[in-house]
């Protein structure tokens, strides 16, 4: 006599792993006002500085206050362009076009270019 076949237990569905948010050492937010010359200079300058001094360890969020003026309240922005260092703590703000490399590095808490080896600085210029 045949025994009734037991229904195969379906394999438990695998739970998809939640996507891992990238972990950046440096979280920066740059507030600008449209495509003004000062805004464009600030964007260019912070991108160049980060590529040179924070390669692969940073994320820059550009917030255009002409499109989203309500976002200025979250970081208490009074002037643009303004760079906000969200992390690492503490929060820091820097106003302007970010063209003074030593000032920007100091405000971010990074060593000035003179602290880097000569070979790393050779020919390096900042806009």
pLDDT tens-place string over residues 77-102 = 999 999 999 999 999 999 999 999 99
pLDDT tens-place string over residues 2-56 = 555 555 555 555 555 555 555 669 999 999 999 999 999 999 999 999 999 998 8
Q: What is the pLDDT of residue 2?
A: 56
User: Residue ranges of the domains in the chain?
Assistant: 26-121
pTM of the model: 0.71
Q: Note the CATH number of domain 26-121.
A: 3.40.30.10
> Three-state SS string across the chain, please?
CCCCCCCCCCCCCCCCCCCCCCCCCEEEEEEECCCCHHHHHHHHHHHHHHHHHCCCCEEEEEEECCCCHHHHHCCCCCCCCEEEEEECCCCEEEECCCCCHHHHHHHHCCCCHHHCCHHHHCCCCCC
């Amino acid at each position: 006599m045949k025994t009734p076949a037991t229904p195969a237990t379906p394999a438990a569905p695998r739970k998809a792993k939640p996507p891992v948010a990238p972990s950046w050492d440096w979280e920066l937010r740059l507030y600008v006002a449209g495509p003004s010359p000062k805004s464009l200079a600030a964007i260019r300058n912070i991108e160049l500085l980060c590529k040179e001094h924070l390669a692969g360890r940073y994320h820059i969020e550009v917030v255009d206050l002409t499109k989203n003026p309500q976002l200025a309240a979250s970081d208490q922005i009074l002037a643009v362009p303004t760079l906000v260092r969200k992390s690492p703590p503490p929060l820091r703000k820097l106003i302007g076009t970010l063209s003074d490399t030593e000032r920007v590095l100091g405000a971010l808490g990074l060593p000035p270019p003179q602290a880097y080896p000569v070979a790393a600085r050779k020919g390096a210029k900042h806009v």
